[in-house]
Each structure stands twice: as C-alpha cells, then as structure tokens.
Structure 1
C-alpha cells in the first residue's frame, strides 16, 4: 500500500496551494491526486482560449443542473475544470478577491480567523502583482497578477459613462474603497494563463516529498474509528487504497468535495441510506447552502471601431494568432471583459452587490460548441448579482461514484434577488445611455429595447440569464449543527479530515471566486501545519 503523510484530493485552485505549502516541509510526504489530465496545451495557456475550453470534455466536467423550476424548467450548463489547475485552467482569469465585508461576515457567523484583516495577509502572500507591493498587494508570491494586455476606447468610455451616473473611478478594485469602476487585473503571466498549478505546483514538482498523480478518480474517503485513514481510488480500471498517516484534505471544489463526503458515509443519514450507503457521520448540511452568481446579459450593435470583432474573424484572426505567437501580446493575450463597475443596487445596501461589465467583442457558440465571433461590430455586457439570497442544494443520484450528483441551484427563488437584479439591469442601461459610451451604440440587441417592464426584464433573466460558474458553500464552515466543517476546516465528527476549497464559504464572495479559493488554500495549509497531529501507525 502507498503511504503518505498528507493526501490532497483535487489539483484545482485550492488544492495546488495546499499541496505546495505542505510539501515545503521536507519531513512530510504529500500526495496530490487529480482525476483529470495535464492541461499544458496551447488553448489552455492562451488567455483568449477560454471559449474553446468551455465545452471541451477533455478538460471540463461539463455538468448540467436538474431542471430549475424558477427558470421555467431550464437546465443550466456548469463547466468545471478537469485537470491540473482545475477551474483556474478554464476560467476568465479575473483576479477579484471580493469585498472586505464578505470576510467580516464569515467571522461574525462564528468563524474566528476569517475576518478581512486576518485573510488579507494570505492574499498578499500568494501574489506577485505587476503594480508592485503595497499594503494590499504582494510582489514575491507564486501567483502572477497583471493588468490587461490591451486597453480599448470603448472600455475607456464605459468607465467614463459609469462615472457620469455616479459610480466613482477606482484605481484598484482589490483595495480601498473596494467599490467603483476600473480595468480588471488577471492571473496572466507574460501573456500566458497562470493557473494555480502553474503558480504553486509546476515550479516545485521536482520535490522528492511531493507526488502528483493525474487520471486518478477518488471514490471515497476511508474511515476507521472516527478518523480518515486514506482514500479509495480508481486508476486504470483498478480499485485500490492509499493511506494517509496525518490527514486527508478534500479540495475538489464545491461540487466534488460534498459528493465525496456523501459517498464516504458523511451526510444526511436518511438520504445516504436511500442509496445504500451506510451513514457513518450524520451531517445534514453536506450539499446544502449551494450558492452561485446569476447574470443577465447585454449586447449592443455599435459603430465601426467600437468593437474588435473584425480583428478575430477571417484573415485577421490568423494575423492575430501570428501576433500572439511572436509577441505574446494582442487580442489573444487578454482575459474576460476588461472593465467592470462595482455598485449598489439600492442606496441602503451595506456594500456593492452588483458587478457590471462590458467587453468590446461578442461571440456565440455553434452547434459543435466552438465559439464564433459575430460578423458585425458589437459589444457585450453583463449584470451579476454578487450577494444572492437564493440557496440551492445538491444530492446523490446513485451510490456509483462515477455518476454526477443532482444539482438544484434554485436561482432567483428569493424575491429580493429578483428586485436587485432588475435594478442592476436598469443601471446597466443607464451607463449605456450616458456619454461618452452612448455615442458608440447604434441599438440594443439583448435584451432589446422593447423589454422595459419589470416583468419583461425578469423574463430575460429567466430565459437568457446564466450562471457565473462560481458555485460555493456546500460544505459550509461554522459551529452550528448544519455546518460541515469547523473554522479550522476540520470536518465535524471526523478526525484527520478537512475540506479546503470554495465549498467552505458560508456566503459567496461579492466578486469572482478564484482569488478567494487560493486564499482559502493558503490559510488552510497554515492551519494544517499548525494543528499537525502525530502520524498514526499504518499496517501494511
């Protein structure tokens, strides 16, 4: 039997951090296991290649939700990264931490150590920011964070128009005042996507005490006498056990980690028994508290020169490709929508709850899943509700570990979410109608000028809205009976087992989730080292 001190399950945004930091101690043996493959391919490393990975099942779990009653029975596609780097290998590379109040709220719920002041050092430690070090940014961390490779006049005009309607200009959306309009930053290094794997594992993979294994499907956590003792895996068609003498750390993300707990007999006992799984630990919160961001889309036909669609079609797209290969620059070197505004849907809100974005290009997916840039000048936009009160859940469909669970996101089930989302759509239109952006717009394509009433805008949100692909919360951190892990991320009722990933968030952050997941990995690794238990004896 293979034996390690620590086994980390999932080489995604959090898991790569945990494995890297734990293996800094040469006295411990660390195994990092990942179900997917190596992801060192051209379109993964090329920032603009994200669209080509959106439905690529080699690198994407490509989940679908169950029909969502609040969306008229729609199913929603949920891409999730499958391979080294996890979803940091297929995302839009946006580096946005969330608002300070997010973390202060976590702490106020009974989670000491998770306030903004206490997590900020972990954000700083992980980062090398192109702008240099200050009180809010690092310059010596593994993860490279950079400014957009190209600015565009339309993006500049979006910033100016947002200011016209009262949204302040910001120089740094990850620093005070944490609200305003600005260009984003990205996890891009020298024109290439910088994933959690690239940042934290690739430079140290040579360590003799670190083993990284791909193509390994973990089927359950082995439990004995109330403790995690290892994992059962399926590799090349064979099942076998791998032992952990200190801890097993689940970092599979908000969809995989609760699934593994359920398969291991940790969850709602009645639900587990219904699928023939012996309930070892009653933990009714496993898979509950599911949260995600929901966005409403926009598109506008614009004047020539206000969009770069033409640069990514026909002969010009090959010229852009050559430009990227020669210089690591150009339009293939940029991440998702370059500018964003953080604003409040209502005057009484304690912090920004809307994310409003514009991109000077538009595309659609064809029948094969390939992104196709529109053949006319257009710009796209989105309105994201950052602090939804709607809550969903996930549940087993089968005891077969290879069958995906059932996902019930329950989008727009809260009346306040609907009200604030509609306010956000109206705010986005106000920006589009303000100078100087208005001079570029010919007419609104989506949702379209006829959609003016609350009912019509809600219909647009239900019919054309989409997931922000930021699922969190399904192994909630806390001290109450429905919390799954404690504030040190230890699974309630089980020794030597932790969850360290997006699933531990009590409430979703008001921003993109990748940076917060990396912070969770940093803080979780420190907790594991500080709490280090003596290794248990293993019989071979």
Structure 2
C-alpha cells in the first residue's frame, strides 16, 4: 500500500542522531547505508523488512516528492542544472576533443532515478553471464533474473491501449508484486509511428523484438518506463522503496547530510568500520555508529571517493592528501566506463505526433557495419595494444594481461554473441525528429579519484574516445541513422537533415573525417558511469568480491553501479534494482 510523505520521518541534521532504534538503543544502527538513491533505498528497504535490525540511510540531498522537475514523466532534462543536480565535471578529455564534460547525477532522496530518462530496459543475458566468467561465482543471468522480477510491479496496459500503442510484452519476464511500478503512461502515442518505424527497421534487417527485457535485446521495440500510470508521475526509488514504508520504526533517513568518511575500530585484526562521519546541513560534524555493516551506495562517481577518504585505495593517492592507508587497494576508482551520446535531427513532414513515443532500436554489429567480419578481425588484432594503452594511462594499476582478458571477453560479446552495440532512439518534437544514440560497449577505461579532502573535489577522467573502436562505433551508428531516415516508409515523413546537416558532414558515406570531427565536437556523457569498485577477483583488479564486500575489510560493502564490471546494453536502473535486491539477501544471510 502506498504511504504518504511526512516530515516526521525525514530526519535532517544532527538532531536525528538521538532517534531511538527499534530495540530501544541510541547507540547506533545495525546497518548504515550511505546514499539514498536507486540502490541504497532498495537495500535499506529489504534489510529493514526484518524488525530485529535497524537501518539508517544517509542522503546528501532532500526530498523531491513534490518537485515538478522530477515528477513529470515527460520532463527529462528539467532538473539538469538545478540544485538537485551534482553536475560533476570531468577533466579535459585529451582523446575526446579536448572538452570538459558534465556528468549528471541527482542529489536527492531517490538518487539519479529522480532525473533519468525513465527507460526500463535490462541487459543482454550473455552480458550478465560474463560477470561469472570473470570469476564472480553465482552471478549470471539465471541467478539475477528473479531479482529483476522481485523489484518490479508491471502495470499491464488495457487491451485497447496495447493495440493502439503497440505496447507488446511477454508477461513471464515481468514481475507483478515488486515495489517498482513500470509500464506506459496514458499519454502514449498511437500505433502509427511504431508501425512505420518497425517496417523501416525491418527493411534495414533489424527484427521486431516483442520485449527487450527477457535477456535478448537485439531488435526494434516499444519499451516500458518507470512510471506510476494511475497518477501520471515518475516512479523513482523513493516512491517505490521508501515512502510507502517510511513508518517502519527501524528505518530512518538523514536528509541533507553528507558522509565524509568511514571510521574504523582500533582493535580489529581485519579493518572493521564502526561508523560514518557526517556533516549536517547546518555544518555540524558528528559520527553515527554502525553495529554490523556499512554499505556504500553513493554511485559510481562517489562511492570510490568515500573509500579513498576512509583510507581504502592506492597508497600513492592517499599519501598525496595526507590520508593514512587502512587497506592498500590501488584499483579503487579505476575501470570507469561511460558511454558517449550524440544525435542527429531532421525536419518532419506529412506527420504530427501527439503523445509519448518510447521506441528503441538495439542493432548488433552485423546490422550497423557493412563489413562486420573485417572489423572483427581488425579489433581483435588491436586488443593487446588497447590493453597496453589503458595499463599505461592508469599507471599499470591494472595489468595489461588482465585488461586483455576483459577485452577479449568484451570482443566476444560484440562480435560472436552479437549483442547490441548501439541504442538508437527516435523522438518527435514540434515539426522535427531527433535521434539520440550511443555506442553501448566502449573499450575505454578511465578513473575517478579524490582531489582533496571531500567528495566534492573529485578528479573524473572517463577517457572518452581513448581507443579506436569507441570512435569507429560512434561513426558507424551515425551513418546507420542517416540510412534509417532515408529508408521507406519512414522517409515519407522525414525532411532535411538539420543536425549535423550535409554541409557539415557530406552525404557521401565515406566522409569519415567529417563524422569524427562532428562527433568529437558535439558529444556528451551518457550519464551511465559504472565499474569503479568492480566486482572481480582482487588479483584481476577487483575492489569487491562476489558478496560485494570490499577486499581487505570485514564489513564494508558497495552496492551501486560501481560494482558492475562491464557496461550493460540496457539502461542501468533496472539492473541496479536487481543487484540491490540480491545484495540485500546476501547481506541478510551473512548476518
């Protein structure tokens, strides 16, 4: 049953520290979750289902329950640049047009699920299977799939709406009883354009995919979103996992409160966190105590910083900032992976669109490249050089031999398993079409590290376009989209290309230099950072083990996008909910 927001349970600042736990003690909490976002709220919710334990959530932002920049399901981008947007800045991107990029993440209860694009698309099954191939026993598609279902409450469209909007789905791949509402809003557009686009993509060799959430993503589809259909609002992590359960006496949240670092027991043989140092909105500093575990869920750009500020990371980096090493773990903050987003635009003709169009195309390398086999051989031959370059750039923190193993696995997913290499959207505006797109599986690896004594001073370097494949992929997808707009029957409704335009990139398909210049000059982050506390064997560069516990510690875990060793083809949010659901079970079982 959905609950209502009350200020009495949204604690702010040091005054909250004396709130009594369910067992009548004011001496701390069993679990402290740092980050009240997508993953953190899911973990906290599930742990607090046990009335015998107490859970505290520390969140840097506030409640956005009534923030119209958040609640509007068609308001993507409205919150960008506002006070709930961290708007992290990268270093100058040496390989990426010498530009500084903005990476969006939300400072709010609900985390980045409050400002994302609401797309509910999971991953290719073989991608999740690859986690186990890297040495993470028990992490594969079959083991994770039940947790996708556990998190989801799929809102079945009425038959008439299903036909009108071509809202097709496979019932057995969706959950019915989870906290997270997914589905389609009532403002979904009619079936004219999905049918047109489906015919067009089929003419390009891309099949219809009834449901991209069943582990096979290649094809054209109409995807569901994280929406509350009845109330026509965004469904974020707070609405799903916190507000309906906020009256639990063993679940508390500190809003507008920043975690500074973990504190450690002095007597433990293995480093054991016993609390978190925090700063409240009024600037006061204090420590909240953890009796069992500290769980970092602050996101791929912040969780590694908190580890470093707490003395877990590369001794060389820690020394630069006067931080005593607790665990020498040099790969903390390494393995950063993000995608690069570009777009094309065209005039619209013979058509007007009313409503929301949630169509997506996931082509494989064979659909995008005319010479896929030749490209496969070319990239395979380049993998040792790729591994050596990444190792050199990151100071050999991750050895080239380990990187080569990862890259060979990634190559196999792309060229042998033929998983999607791109996401292509077709959006309708006032008299125009636009297609955002991104290559799903760049080989570049970057890093995020502390640049001072707080998480606000981060040094973020994704190394966009570091390796040849990353730019080649982006160029070929752009050419594929240009072909889409000139293919019937969609071409009946498309006019002049306005971005980049043939005056910028020649219509000649061989104008690779023109595409490269346009792409490097006009890309942005796709806001999908992963991998900075990767779940892998320690000797291969991992930061957490298969129970998501940080190597060298007794009771610190990371549960967020940091732990994903690779990018996934779908949008991150669905997989993060699933990982958090499984993590909560692992944590509860270990207690």
Same fold? TM cut 0.5: yes
Secondary structure at the aligned position of 1:114 is classed as coil
The CA distance in 1 between the partners of 2:537 and 2:516, in whole Å, is 37
Secondary structure at the aligned position of 2:279 is classed as strand
The CA distance in 2 between the partners of 1:383 and 1:255, in whole Å, is 23
Instruction: Decide whether the 8 Å contact of 1:61 with 1:79 is kept in 2.
Output: yes
1:500-539 matched pairs, under 5 angstroms: 500-532=559-591
1:267-286 matched pairs, under 5 angstroms: 267-286=313-332
Instruction: Decide whether the 8 Å contact of 2:122 with 2:215 is kept in 1.
Output: no
How far did 1:442 drift?
1.2
* Residue matched to 2:490: 437
Secondary structure at the aligned position of 1:387 is classed as coil
Superimposed CA distance per residue, residues 458-501 of structure 1 (whole angstroms, 9 cap, x where no aligned partner): 11211111111001100011113321100110000011110000
How far did 1:176 drift?
5.3
**Does residue 121 of structure 1 match 2:139?**
no
* Residue matched to 1:135: 172
**Does residue 17 of structure 1 match 2:42?**
yes
* Residue matched to 1:229: 274
The CA distance in 2 between the partners of 1:389 and 1:518, in whole Å, is 25
1:7-86 matched pairs, under 5 angstroms: 7-40=32-65, 41-57=67-83, 59-86=84-111
Instruction: Decide whether the 8 Å contact of 1:154 with 1:360 is kept in 2.
Output: no
The CA distance in 2 between the partners of 1:300 and 1:44, in whole Å, is 29
Secondary structure at the aligned position of 1:423 is classed as helix
Structure 1 counterpart of 2:520, from 462, 466, 488: 462
Instruction: Decide whether the 8 Å contact of 2:451 with 2:458 is kept in 1.
Output: yes
Superimposed CA distance per residue, residues 338-366 of structure 1 (whole angstroms, 9 cap, x where no aligned partner): 111111124462211111111012xxxxx
How far did 1:306 drift?
3.8
Secondary structure at the aligned position of 2:77 is classed as helix
* Residue matched to 2:423: 355
How far did 1:157 drift?
2.3
* Residue matched to 1:264: 310
How far did 1:72 drift?
2.1
Q: Normalising by the residue count of structure 1, what TM-score does the alignment of the two structures yield? A: 0.88
* Residue matched to 1:423: 476
Structure 1 counterpart of 2:343, from 268, 284, 297: 297
How far did 1:156 drift?
3.7
Structure 1 counterpart of 2:205, from 166, 173, 182: 166
The CA distance in 1 between the partners of 2:298 and 2:174, in whole Å, is 27
Q: Normalising by the residue count of structure 2, what TM-score does the alignment of the two structures yield? A: 0.81
The CA distance in 2 between the partners of 1:523 and 1:296, in whole Å, is 34
Secondary structure at the aligned position of 2:365 is classed as coil
Secondary structure at the aligned position of 2:30 is classed as strand
CA distance change for structure 1 residues 507 and 177 in 2, over 3 Å: closer, same or farther?
closer
The CA distance in 1 between the partners of 2:576 and 2:455, in whole Å, is 25
Instruction: Decide whether the 8 Å contact of 2:150 with 2:177 is kept in 1.
Output: yes
Secondary structure at the aligned position of 1:178 is classed as coil
* Residue matched to 2:249: 208
How far did 1:508 drift?
0.9
Secondary structure at the aligned position of 2:514 is classed as helix
How far did 1:212 drift?
1.4
Structure 1 counterpart of 2:531, from 457, 473, 480: 473
For structure 1, the residue ranges without an aligned partner over 5 or more in a row are 309-330, 362-375, 533-540
The CA distance in 1 between the partners of 2:500 and 2:490, in whole Å, is 18
Instruction: Decide whether the 8 Å contact of 1:307 with 1:379 is kept in 2.
Output: no
Superimposed CA distance per residue, residues 482-528 of structure 1 (whole angstroms, 9 cap, x where no aligned partner): 21100110000011110000000110111211111111110110110
Superimposed CA distance per residue, residues 401-459 of structure 1 (whole angstroms, 9 cap, x where no aligned partner): 15330110111111112222222111111211111111111111112124141111111
Superimposed CA distance per residue, residues 332-390 of structure 1 (whole angstroms, 9 cap, x where no aligned partner): xx5xx6111111124462211111111012xxxxxxxxxxxxxx611110221111111
* Residue matched to 2:433: 379
The CA distance in 1 between the partners of 2:512 and 2:353, in whole Å, is 30
Secondary structure at the aligned position of 1:53 is classed as coil
Structure 1 counterpart of 2:220, from 170, 181, 198: 181
Instruction: Decide whether the 8 Å contact of 1:295 with 1:465 is kept in 2.
Output: yes
Superimposed CA distance per residue, residues 137-164 of structure 1 (whole angstroms, 9 cap, x where no aligned partner): 1111110110253125444422221111
Secondary structure at the aligned position of 1:32 is classed as strand
| Bigger mean CA offset, 278-287 vs 155-164 | 155-164
How far did 1:304 drift?
5.5
| Bigger mean CA offset, 202-211 vs 420-429 | 420-429
The CA distance in 1 between the partners of 2:216 and 2:588, in whole Å, is 34
1:312-323 matched pairs, under 5 angstroms: none
Secondary structure at the aligned position of 2:74 is classed as helix
Superimposed CA distance per residue, residues 170-229 of structure 1 (whole angstroms, 9 cap, x where no aligned partner): 111112532110111100012110001100111111001111120110000112231111
CA distance change for structure 1 residues 8 and 163 in 2, over 3 Å: closer, same or farther?
same
Instruction: Decide whether the 8 Å contact of 1:232 with 1:240 is kept in 2.
Output: yes
Secondary structure at the aligned position of 2:426 is classed as strand
The CA distance in 2 between the partners of 1:68 and 1:44, in whole Å, is 30
**Does residue 198 of structure 1 match 2:239?**
yes
The CA distance in 2 between the partners of 1:122 and 1:488, in whole Å, is 15
Dislocated runs of 4+, deviation >4 Å? none
* Residue matched to 2:393: none
Secondary structure at the aligned position of 2:212 is classed as coil
